[in-house]
Amino acid sequence: MNTTTAPNLLQRFAARVTEASSTYLEVAGWQQVVEHAGGYSEVVAIAPSLAAAQPEVRELLEAAGVRVVVPDGDDPAAEVADVPVAIVRAEMGVAESGSLLVSEHALGDRVVTMLCHRLIQVVAASDIVDRLEGAAEWLAARNGQPGFASLMTGPSRTADIERSLTIGVQGPDEVDVLVLTATDPTATTEDDA
């Protein structure tokens, strides 16, 4: 991965994300992610892998008065079906296509990305690569782990119905891509404390 991200790489990534009908936003830390998510809904789902890796996200959401759903029961799809907003962490962004590589080990992670109305994908600026080959290298380095990963590029779209473009047919209606610009994307910023 990049240790620093060139400004033109971020600009290319931002342009492609926007072309894919997603919202692009650069944020300094997790507090801004939480503020963004809480601005849309009082109920937010977070992927189980994100809840485990970044417990402060749940704590910050709950401190803001947001009800947090983390699917961990026998029927994770029922737990998050039609939740207004969900947050996931992407392994990397690809500037060439505006795609995000999401590693979804558990069913709970997968349903969070598919069953919400607005999906907030968070990626560290240092994890943005120039071309799709970067995603292939990341996957190859893991020798088949994770068992499930996907490249996501904006909300789904189809023109199958009367040749009219429809966005958000399956999966979220809206996708926001938030790029963490902090040097350490796992840490909270001073403003987060």
pLDDT, tens digit, 9 for 90 and up, residues 49-69: 999 999 999 999 999 999 999
In this structure, the number of other CB atoms found within 10 A of the CB of residue 152 comes to 23
Closest CA to 109 of 132, 133, 91: 91
Indicate if the pLDDT at residue 32 is higher than 70: yes
In this structure, the number of other CB atoms found within 10 A of the CB of residue 159 comes to 10
pLDDT > 90: percent of the chain: 58
For the chain, domain boundaries: 7-155
For 7-155, which CATH class? Answer: alpha beta
Question: Do the Cβ atoms of 149 and 99 come closer than 8 Å?
Answer: no
The 3-state secondary structure of 158-189, one letter per residue: ECCCCCCCEECCCCCCEEEEEEECCCCCCCCC
* CA–CA separation, 81 and 58 (whole Å): 19
Among 27-31, 152-156, 184-188, top mean pLDDT goes to 27-31
Q: What is the reported pTM?
A: 0.86
Quick: pLDDT tens for 109-160.
989 988 999 999 999 999 999 998 988 888 888 776 666 788 888 887 555 5
